[in-house]
Amino acid sequence: MAGTKKTKSVYQKELKQLESRRYGFFWYSALWKVLRTVMILVCAVTLVCGLIYTGWQRFENTFFAPMDPADRTEIPFVVKSGSSLSNVSRELENSGLIANSTVFKYMADFGGMGQRIQSGRYTFTKAMSAREILDQLISGDGRPNTMQITIIPGWTVENVAEYLVKIGLFPSGEEFLKLCKSGENYRGYEFVDEILSSSRAQGRLYLLEGYLSPNTYEIYTSSTPDDIIKKLLNQTNAAYLSNYAERAEALGMTMDEIFTLASMIETEAKKMDFARVSAVFHNRLKQNMTLGSDATVKYVSGSKKMSLAETDLTISSPYNTYLVRGLPVGPICNPSMDAVVAALYPDEQYVAQKYLYFCSKDPNSSELYFSRTLEEHNAAVAMYRPLWEEYDRSRGL
């Protein structure tokens, strides 16, 4: 029937269905708005995180990545005791191991590691990252903080420098030798200042030769050449007692002249003959004779031969005591205090009997033959020279 009327219950049912659909659409719309907002936030956060990550990666690659991943050449690096983080960072940059010293410093400070860097001698490569380098500096170089060194009586300044390089304390002896050559940095020591203020400073190979006191020392492994020199000079200063200075004055000699004489005694003889050799030199000085010491010539020429040639003895040098009367211009080695005492207190009997000569009897035993006259000395030389020449041949000289 076309005009069939709907009942009231049907209208109510349709109304409820319509309201239900409207309610569902409302909640769907609200949910969509929430989801859309969340999705936008997630995308924004993801984008920001991506940008931050990309930026950090670029920052990391610029400042923290290895300078050259393919370069594994070892680069020595020294952190001196007391070095600040700023100094260490700057030296790392100067060595080409990091890109930026300021960034490295902030990285260490931010991580609370700036105060934990240890002094020592390290080996880095440009293939190491800034973080790897920092970790190594915090871990230390694996070496003990202290070590013992032994300076042998009779060693020259150059011998000492060679030894310190050999035991790995310094990569090169250049700075050590430079400081010993001028001595200017050590005017605070009275005996050094006296030398620098005198004519005896002229013509010396090393101004500090003679004053690097032989002994065994405990030092920091991070010690600098300046630290070592001061330690050795301090020992010399302490070992040269006031009564030694008084005795030198009584002999009419300065401390430098005593050490010069002691260095010759140290080089020419064994301890058992120190006082007798001292007596010979004192006697020759009193008679204004040339001292004629082979050791002074060898110091200049570098010769290791027992039997010197005429060309060796005529070397023009203020150290050559065959040509220069009196003491050479300065010490020729770093003498022991035993030799210093012998220079101050020569054998009284040999002084009284006016012994003027000595020569080696046996190169292997270092026993000496002493003479009072030139004739007796020449006879001894003629007797023992073949032994000296054979000794030189046996060593390829």
Rg (CA), the chain: 41
pLDDT of 230 higher than 90: yes
Give the per-residue pLDDT at 29: 67
| Pairing outcome for strands 75-79 and 120-124 | antiparallel
**Mean pLDDT of the 235-244 span:** 94
Cα separation, 359 vs 294, whole angstroms:
10
pLDDT tens-digit profile of 20-53? Answer: 666 555 566 666 677 777 777 766 666 666 556 5
**Domains of the chain from N-terminus onward:** 75-139 (3.30.1490.480), 146-238 (no CATH), 247-394 (no CATH)
Q: How many residues does the chain have?
A: 397
**Mean pLDDT of the 251-260 span:** 96
Let me know: does 181 contact 240? Beta carbons within 8 Å: no
Residue 305 — very low, low, confident or very high, per pLDDT cuts 50/70/90? confident
pLDDT of 107 higher than 90: no
Give me the percent of the chain exceeding a pLDDT of 70. 84
Cα separation, 145 vs 147, whole angstroms:
7
The token pair that represents 138 in the structure block: 């915090």
- Total-model pTM: 0.69
pLDDT of 94 higher than 50: yes
Residue 347: count of CB within 10 angstroms of its CB? 20
For tokens 């970790």, name the residue: 135
Number of alpha carbons in the 13 Å side-chain half-sphere of residue 192: 24
Let me know: does 208 contact 330? Beta carbons within 8 Å: no
CA angle 375, 377, 379 (to 5 degrees): 70
Q: Where are the alpha helices (DSSP H) in 183-272?
A: 190-196, 225-239, 242-250, 255-268
Please provide the average confidence, as pLDDT, over all residues in the chain. Answer: 86
**Mean pLDDT of the 249-276 span:** 96
Give the per-residue pLDDT at 111: 66
Name the most confidently modeled range: 117-126, 170-179, 219-228, 302-311.
170-179
**Mean pLDDT of the 118-131 span:** 86
Cα separation, 27 vs 36, whole angstroms:
14
